[in-house]
Copies of this chain bind each other. A is one copy, B any other.
């Protein structure tokens, strides 16, 4: 019973995988061959990484002829953003209070 944030964090914990995702985010769609050329590892390794990214929902694949095009699904990052938000809320609130205090002291 792996939670969604768990899948996301685990998928993005590997630097090679993060690099693949970053490239797809910034440069858009790419084939496995193109991605393999960029990464410094073998094609099967890249395919496995893409499989893990796909399982985490971070990536979509589209088959066209004999090649597979992968693209980033940035929306999948939403739970990550939510999580960091929840972890930050409290000290942010405290920080806001401090700001308010300083603002009031300024008057």
Measured CB to CB, the residues of A under 8 A from B are: 3, 5-6, 9-10, 12-13, 15, 18, 21-22, 25-26, 72, 74-75, 77, 80-81, 84, 86-88, 90-92
Contact = CB atoms under 8 A, between A and B. Distances in A.
Each complex incorporates copies of this chain amounting to 2
Given A74-B90, A74-B91, 11 more contacts: A6-B15, A6-B18, A9-B9, A10-B13, A21-B87, A25-B90, A72-B87, A74-B87, A75-B91, A77-B84, A81-B81
Contact of A77 (B21, B25, B26, B87): B87
Nearest to A27: B90
B87 A22 contact: yes
14 contacts: A5-B18, A9-B9, A9-B12, A12-B13, A21-B87, A22-B87, A25-B90, A72-B87, A74-B87, A74-B90, A74-B91, A77-B84, A77-B87, A81-B84
A90 B26 CA distance: 8
